Amino acid sequence: MKRKILFCLCALFLSASVAFAASTFKKGDKVYVTVKSASLKSGTGAFSGTTASVEYGDMMIVLQVSSKKVQVQLSSNMSKSGWIAAGSLTKKKIVKKTNGSSVRASTDELALAGKGFSEAAESAFKSSNKNLNYAEVDEVEKITVSQSDQSSFVKEGGLEGDAE
């Protein structure tokens, strides 16, 4: 019972933080990607096509904001734009390089740090949850589905999802 309540509270907190995150952005803001990689989508719907890919630290300009998504344009290539989850963005500048040399952390470590995880926090979590199988999580994270396979799945299943 305690786990169910804790899960519900976490879900509520995450929903509220995503809604809050979207409301903190406005047209013209410079924002940075806080996840390892993400796809910019042609619309706000779950099955919208991919227009571009972005990586941790990429800088973009906000074009429009909806309740959970933000329409952005890459500052490095103004021809690339699309919608991305507000929770994958921050106004805080993310620097990929320092003093002309690249950062020595992996992209995964940088993304975790951007989300507030440190090596110590991760170690503490692993030590208190020794029964979890992290190798399976790593395998699931490697799974990718092509845009054409996604489109076929949506079409064959008669799914809709063009709106948030």
Q: 22 with 70: CB under 8 angstroms?
A: yes
26 phi and psi angles, rounded to 5 deg: -140, 160
Using a 10 angstrom Cβ sphere, with 0-12 exposed, 13-18 middle and 19 or more buried, the burial of residue 109 is middle
Domains of the chain: 2-156 (2.30.30.40)
Task: Name residues of the chain where pLDDT drops below 50.
Answer: 8, 10, 16-21
* Residues in Cβ contact with 85 at an 8 Å cutoff, skipping those fewer than 6 apart: 18, 38, 68, 69, 70
Q: What does pTM read for this prediction?
A: 0.60
